[in-house]
Amino acid sequence: MTQLRVGVIGTGNPTKGASRMGYAMAYQHANAYAALDNCQLVACADIKQENAEAFAEHYQLPNFYLSHQEMLAQEDLDIVSICVWPHLHARLVLDSIDAGVRAIHSEKPMADTWGDAKRMVLTAEKNSVQLTFNHQRRFGKPFSMAKDLLKSGQIGDLLRLEAACGDIYDYGTHYIDMFGFYNQDLPAKWVQGQIDYRTKNLVFGAMVENQATALWEYQNGVFGFIATGLGSRSVGVHNRLVGTEGVIEVGTDNVHLRIQRNGKSWETIDTQGEHLHGPGFIERGIADLINSLHDGTEPELSGRRALNATEIIFSIYESSRRRSRIDLPLDIDDNPLVEMVESGALQPE
């Protein structure tokens, strides 16, 4: 069996623990590749030598680099995993495409501007490079079982999707992406939202709002709603699927999945030992993108699907900037939240 040569950019340091500064996701990516018979980890790159050395030693890699450009130039790679902060994603994706790799798997969020998010996907498509983003919850049983209940008609026709979390850009990208997963991966038609950014708030170096509420409509008439920060309590559940004949909830009251049919009592669904964060989500996602690379099919974590969620995120920020509804497609290139802060329109403490 021909093995695919894999390189990792941005190893991180798992000994520092998970925080807003990093999760050392490269180790989770690497474990997923190592579990596959047709993948071989061959190199890594990190700007901190101690991080790169530790990663190379841990996975017994023949080479490590302090520059991603040098790794891309020296190694004949088939796949690159990108595990750095969002503002670097576009540059590293485009450099990897220029290096001639076959596939790129990047951490989320896609990019720190809408223009860069679009540019990555369009450039990958133009060069026939498979580009995926790690919205791994698509492979979690609480979420996939919720989708199966919906598809089998357990709550009738889907009317509305609701979510609550800390912010829309970093955490919310998962749940807005999950809305696409539940709803045929359709784009939205319009978005209307408002944000609060009274206190400086950074996650992985990126600005995220303190609080937001937003409503949008998909092309099939299904509505999406999200509340973040203090407002998340108004939803009270990670994901809610509202249908004509019932409701499905994912992540509430220490219950991972439950359903209410026709106003009857709630029924808890066994998610077979899986919760909202795992185990096994990333491993399944990477196995799927490898299979898609062989088969020529669209991977579940494709850039096209990620772009649908990212457009909604930046449209929420843009709606707050314009103080109006945003009709899609979104016609900006920047990050409205960053621009509002830099222009003085928002002045966080």
CB 121 within 8 A of CB 114: no
Element (H, E) at 218: strand 211-218
CB 208 within 8 A of CB 201: yes
The answer to whether residues 24 and 112 belong to one domain is yes
The answer to whether residues 175 and 111 belong to one domain is no
The answer to whether residues 174 and 261 belong to one domain is yes
Instruction: Tell me which residue of 151, 125, 148 sits closest to 272, measured CA to CA.
Output: 148
Indicate whether 100 belongs to any domain: yes
Domains contained in the chain, number: 2
What is the CATH classification number for the domain harbouring 191? 3.30.360.10
The answer to whether residues 92 and 173 belong to one domain is no
The answer to whether residues 217 and 152 belong to one domain is yes
The answer to whether residues 188 and 212 belong to one domain is yes
Indicate whether 348 belongs to any domain: no
The answer to whether residues 130 and 261 belong to one domain is no
Indicate whether 22 belongs to any domain: yes
Q: What is the dihedral of CA 207, 208, 211, 216, to 10 degrees?
A: 120
Indicate whether 65 belongs to any domain: yes
Distance CA 274, CA 279 (A): 6
Indicate whether 349 belongs to any domain: no
Residue 120, domain extent: 4-136+280-301
CB 228 within 8 A of CB 209: yes
Indicate whether 43 belongs to any domain: yes
What is the CATH classification number for the domain harbouring 111? 3.40.50.720
The answer to whether residues 318 and 186 belong to one domain is yes
One pLDDT digit (tens) per residue for the chain, 349 residues: 579 999 999 999 887 766 667 778 999 999 999 999 999 999 999 999 999 999 999 999 999 999 999 999 999 999 999 999 999 999 999 999 999 999 999 999 999 999 999 999 999 999 999 999 999 999 999 999 999 999 999 999 999 999 999 999 999 999 999 999 999 999 999 999 999 999 999 999 999 999 999 999 999 999 999 999 999 999 999 999 999 999 999 999 889 999 999 989 999 999 999 999 999 999 999 999 999 999 999 999 999 999 999 999 999 999 999 999 999 999 999 999 999 999 999 999 9
Indicate whether 171 belongs to any domain: yes
Return the residue matching tokens 């009317």. 159
The answer to whether residues 267 and 337 belong to one domain is yes
> Which residues does 69 contact at the CB level (< 8 Å), separation at least 6?
95
Indicate whether 125 belongs to any domain: yes
The answer to whether residues 56 and 144 belong to one domain is no
Predicted TM-score (pTM) of the model is 0.96
The answer to whether residues 40 and 97 belong to one domain is yes
The answer to whether residues 44 and 162 belong to one domain is no
